[in-house]
Chains A and B, each alone.
Chain A
């Protein structure tokens, strides 16, 4: 976020801001909105800016960035499922590929809806060879996500080498899982995002996996508390037939995600007695409430300890 901080250096001066500075501030608030809260932030930004033109410029630039960072999912209008908004499926600013249904969703970033769908063209889709691996993996991932995430949406993209026609070349798939839960009436929102890059190395007959998981939660009833957690990991397996690859890749993903969740739980369990204690103890070192009624005594004792040098 270092860039964001820089954008603001000039802003602390009291002179009238330029339009560009106002738009930059508005964009900064929008792109930094917590999961599921950009529409609320936009409403507030609009009232603070008091300039429709600048507001529209800011939202049109900030929403696509936010939607892609948060990998939001949008329902396709023909009830054929959901499309993820991500650079992996981005054909242009407003068109996103849904590899599962071979459709292209046309989206309105600011309204966060998919307005239209069209069938994907052959050039937009991977070769039949790649599609066999992608499709097998997608089927396994759907099963896993259905069982592990009550509201999870997943998609498998070809990230590299979509035109590879057969054995002999490397290619790369990307598995994206996005689960969000928004309950503004309970002042609580959260999201889980995993991105798995799966590289099929033809020469070594190996599959290498790299993952980034990001978990965020925001609770804001009479306060503002946020969780940010992220984790990266690597693993590998052997190159096999598409169906076998799909199963072993999914097992690896399941294993790492389950472990990560357990380590998150562990971090929470450590809070009360270890981590939080380094900020402030529940009880004083003396294990009794502070003797406020006897403060004169405390001051005296401290002076004595200081004088005879028994203190630290």
Chain B
């Protein structure tokens, strides 16, 4: 299992789906571990009742069907599919509404879905998903990207309320890829994924949605920032180590 995770850490992010299916077939007895530890690009299905797309993940899946957050129905239809309690469903509806506005303000497009379910220790778990196609053929407003995708998965475990305080444990993954292409500079492509965790205690008075939303917003900003500054920055540093920019060379070799 450790070796499998080692391979996933090295294989090119654009091959991660192929790599995962290969590992699943080599290590069938580890399939549940692999599926829970390896994040995959998000898939989308259309809710025929509402005419709106929703995102698929392990958390809205029952058998081979997925529950839409819009109609609360399984696609394809499933009898006795698991549903959240009425109270949690109310919060789920509100979360989907508000998160769609949040998503629009940061992503200027994209699709979002929020799923909630009760867990064993009197709390609940919420999963916030965002998928954005930022390519010029998709929803890239500025039209710079030949290809561009951003998939975010935020899973928050909310502990039971204790004296007005609840514990929130957030695990977030962002997977992205972006490619630009033109005559003069060829193809330039960056892709990757990172995963981080954050733990907080909040007063429940302001509402779970407000608390979860703030954590997700902070986390997304952190992840975007570290991808931009740290991860992309490191690859840029590497390029400059391989072939230092000419200013550096001119200083070293004034007579050339």
Chain A residues packing against B (C-beta within 8 Å): 1, 4-5, 8, 11-14, 17, 21-22, 25, 28-29, 32-34, 37, 40-41, 43-49, 147-152, 179-181, 188-192, 213, 215, 217-220, 222-232, 257-258, 260-268, 270-272, 274-286, 289-290, 292-293, 295, 298-299, 302
Contacts and interface: CB of A to CB of B under 8 A. Distances in A.
11 contacts: A44-B6, A190-B242, A219-B231, A227-B188, A228-B189, A267-B185, A275-B180, A279-B178, A282-B221, A282-B224, A295-B94
Interface in B1-41: 2-4, 6-13, 15, 18-19, 21-28
Given A223-B231, A226-B235, A278 B186 contact: no
B239 interface: yes
Interface stretch (B60-68, B75-83, B118-126, B139-147): B139-147
B176 to A, nearest CB: 6
B97 interface: yes
A230 B241 CA distance: 17
A227 B239 contact: yes
B3 A284 contact: no
A13 B21 CA distance: 9
A267 B188 contact: yes
Contact of A226 (B7, B191, B253): B191
B253 A147 contact: yes
Nearest to A194: B243
Given A275-B144, A280-B224, A215 B242 contact: yes
Given A190-B242, A261-B243, A148 B220 contact: no
Nearest to A302: B101
A227 B188 CA distance: 8
A14 B105 contact: no
A2 B220 CA distance: 33
B180 A219 contact: no
A292 B215 CA distance: 10
B185 A47 contact: no
B245 interface: yes
A179 B2 CA distance: 31
B246 A258 contact: yes
Interface in B220-237: 220-221, 224-225, 227-228, 231-232, 234-237
A17 to B, nearest CB: 6
Given A278-B140, A298-B101, 4 more contacts: A148-B244, A217-B239, A279-B107, A295-B207
Contacts of B193: 223-225
B95 to A, nearest CB: 9
A227 B214 CA distance: 32
B176 A279 contact: yes
Contacts of B141: 278
Interface in B88-113: 94, 97-98, 101-102, 104-108
Contacts of A152: 243
Nearest to B227: A225
B196 to A, nearest CB: 8
A17 B26 contact: yes
A219 B235 contact: yes
Contacts of B105: 281, 284-286, 290
B227 to A, nearest CB: 7
Nearest to B218: A289
Contacts of B228: 271-272, 276
A113 B85 CA distance: 64
